[in-house]
Amino acid sequence: MTITRRAALGAALAAPALLPGLARAQGWSPSRPIRIVVGFPPAGTTDIAARLLAEPLGRRLGTQVVVENRPGAGGNIGNDVVAKSEPDGHTLLMQTISGGAINYALYGARMPVKPEDLAAVGLMLRVPNAIFVNPQVPARTLAELVALAKARPGTLNHGSSGAGTSLHMTGELLKLEAGIDMTHVPFRGAGPMMQEIIAGRVEVGVDNLPSVIGHLRDGRLRPLAVTTKERTPAMPEVPTTAEAGFPGVEATAWFGVQAPARTPAPIIRRISDELNALIREPEMQRRLADLGGMPPNLTPDGGTSPESFDAFVKAEITKWAEVVQRSGARVE
């Protein structure tokens, strides 16, 4: 990463050493190890984010923080585990755009939790989604992929790490925007999906940039576009979907921390303030930027808070309900 990129990310997260509210929240301390529940298998971006957070958060809170993978149903199993846990600060959820927003519309009455069953702690980072293909696919641009799909309707498969994820919905948006027919193949996580695309058994993939960036950089997969408004400094040569001619295919994945509802406010505030301080540390900024991560930018100083994250999640639920309705996406 260049010095300019580091400086830009650092400026976005610059803040005084003592964050607002930290002093009044310091009265609570954990009495045993904390677990961060991840609703997806290891190796995906949700797991990567949780493991980046665990050790330094534990250091700041004075206890061990462990990651527990509880995959299934697009993150819903993890949601349910945390919603039913004791609201005492010792169980947290690494929440995603899928489990925290998209699934409420996609699963409807089958959704095991309601938004009010989980309490906002803070947003950790936002990342682009990447659209990519196996290098044997004769498409070097997104426009060429669309042309190929139109020439071979219904024969191309597009993989995602699960139904209801932003990756699934990005594929649906592309089909809607481009007027093409591809078959969605959901996997139980990014790792299994990547194996099938690299092997050539699935032609097209959509994934959060952090979990696929290594494969894109070493040529095992070919990037066609990223789904954010601006190009990512992590792979500046890859165009955006808007630049490729499909401005309606826009999706920024996000990863944040939630806790069981009824967790006392001082506990929420303490964990949120430590998270907010942690994402401002230069080493964490460097690691997130190298993965294509962007800062929360929910508060005026570029950070996060329980209140701002709560408002953000509510807006995302509304936004993605409209997308689900437009696309006609469903889960079996």
DSSP letter for 154, please. Answer: T
184 backbone dihedrals φ, ψ, rounded to 5° = -80, 130
List the structure tokens of 4: 């300019």
Pairwise CA distance, residues 143 & 273, whole Å: 44
Render 40-92 in DSSP notation, one character per residue.
S-TTSHHHHHHHHHHHHHHHHHTS-EEEEE---GGGHHHHHHHHTS-SSSSEE
Chain centroid to CA 171: how far?
Answer: 15
Pairwise CA distance, residues 197 & 164, whole Å: 20
Residue 290: its pLDDT value, please? 85
Chain centroid to CA 280: how far?
Answer: 19
Burial (CB count <10 Å: 0-12, 13-18, 19+), residue 325? exposed
Residue 7: its pLDDT value, please? 43
Residue 161: its pLDDT value, please? 85
Contact present, 134 and 221 (Cβ < 8 Å): yes
CA atoms within 13 A on the CB side of 329: 33
Residue 26: its pLDDT value, please? 54
Q: What share of the chain is helix, strand, coil (3-state, %, to 5)?
A: 45, 20, 40
Pairwise CA distance, residues 140 & 155, whole Å: 18
Residue 332: its pLDDT value, please? 67
Burial (CB count <10 Å: 0-12, 13-18, 19+), residue 10? middle
Contact present, 316 and 115 (Cβ < 8 Å): no
Pairwise CA distance, residues 281 & 254, whole Å: 19
List the structure tokens of 207: 């994934």
pTM of the model: 0.83
136 backbone dihedrals φ, ψ, rounded to 5° = -80, -15
126 CB neighbour count, 10 Å cutoff: 20
Residue type, 232: T
Report CA-CA distances (Å) from 91 to 42, 66, 80, 285.
18, 10, 12, 25
List the pLDDT tens digit at each of the 332 positions of the chain.
Answer: 443 444 444 444 444 344 444 434 457 999 999 999 999 989 888 999 999 999 999 999 999 999 999 998 889 999 999 999 999 999 999 999 999 999 999 999 999 999 999 999 999 999 999 999 999 999 999 999 999 999 999 999 999 988 878 889 899 999 999 999 999 999 888 888 999 999 999 999 999 999 899 999 999 999 999 999 999 999 999 999 999 999 999 989 999 999 999 999 999 999 999 999 999 999 999 998 888 888 899 999 999 999 999 999 999 999 999 888 888 877 76
Q: 295-301 contacts: CB < 8 A, separation 24 or more? A: 295/9, 295/12, 295/13, 295/125, 295/126, 296/122, 296/123, 296/124, 296/125, 296/126, 296/256, 297/12, 297/126, 298/123, 301/13, 301/14, 301/15
